[in-house]
Amino acid sequence: MPRTALLVGATGLVGAALLDRLLAAPDYAQIIVLGRRAPARAHPKLRAMTSTLEDLDALADPLAADDLFCCLGTTTRAAGGKAGLERVDYHMVLAVARAAQAGGVTRFFGVSAAGASATSPAFYSRVKARMERAVGEVGFAAVHLFRPSLLLGARSESRPGEALAQKLAPLLAPLCIGPLRKYQPITAAEVADAMLQVARSDTRSGTVIHDLPL
């Protein structure tokens, strides 16, 4: 039976690519997009729910779906500091996960980051690791966490550091072999493809970490 997908972070690099794929996928009869603003497009399968993601208790309808695809993410610079990064990448993700699980969602597919670790010297990596652990404790039947390295693609927002890294990516990619393969730069489209591929085929329960490329 076709399923209902709940997508958060649809305006981001991975989220926008994933929205295109979910709308085209016969596996899903309805795509609910939750965010600050509705997508600038129309589609028979698309339904928009507006929220700041900090007022989920005020939603008129529960987050009723089968699968939650969470593509929320920011940078310390874009968020205005470490507290802002933690607010988006940890607190918002966890709030959406809890609300969705309460609404009946059984599977969580979320974007994390390569190198996520509770013992990492990098604050960003520690926040991602905390998010992974917390989402795994929400109560979903299955949690699939995808860990991309540097994301390649054109962003609407300015990220100077990331833009420089993207220019260097062709030089770095050949060095990422063997155990370092998970640190290869990857396009947002490839991440979206991996998420949909796993949603279609992986029936494991519990928490599963997916290093990318698959």
SS (H, E, C) 27-55: CEEEEEEEECCCCCCCCCCEEEEECCCCC
Tell me the C-alpha distance between 150 and 148, whole Å.
7
- As a whole number, mean pLDDT of residues 134-143 equals 98
How confident is the model at residue 160, as a pLDDT?
Answer: 60
Given this model, what pLDDT does residue 31 score? Answer: 98
pLDDT of residue 26: 96
Residue with tokens 């997908």: 5
Mean pLDDT in residue range 135-156:
89
Is residue 171 pLDDT above 80, yes or no? no
pLDDT band at 182 (very low <50, low <70, confident <90, very high): confident
Query: Choosing from 124, 167, 182, 183, which is the catalytic residue?
Result: 124
Q: Which two tokens stand for residue 191?
A: 């991440």
pLDDT of residue 157: 59
User: Mean pLDDT throughout 159-187?
Assistant: 66
Our answer to whether residue 124 is catalytic in this structure is yes
Known active-site residue 45: no
Confidence bin at 159 (pLDDT 50/70/90): low
Catalytic residue among 128, 167, 182, 183: 128
What is the C-alpha separation between 125 and 177, in angstroms, rounded?
21
Q: How many CA atoms lie within 13 A of 165 on its CB side?
A: 14
Asked if the model's pLDDT at residue 173 lies above 70, the reply is no
The 8-class DSSP code of residue 213 comes to: -
Look at residue 169 in the predicted model and tell me its pLDDT: 57
Mean pLDDT for 53-59 is 90
Structural domains of the chain sorted by starting position, each given as residue range(s) with its CATH number in brackets? 3-211 (3.40.50.720)
Tell me, rounded to whole angstroms, the distance of Cα 78 from its chain centroid: 17
Residue 150 — pLDDT band, cuts 50, 70, 90? confident
Cut 0.75: pTM above it: yes
pLDDT of residue 86: 98
Average pLDDT of the residues in 131-153: 95
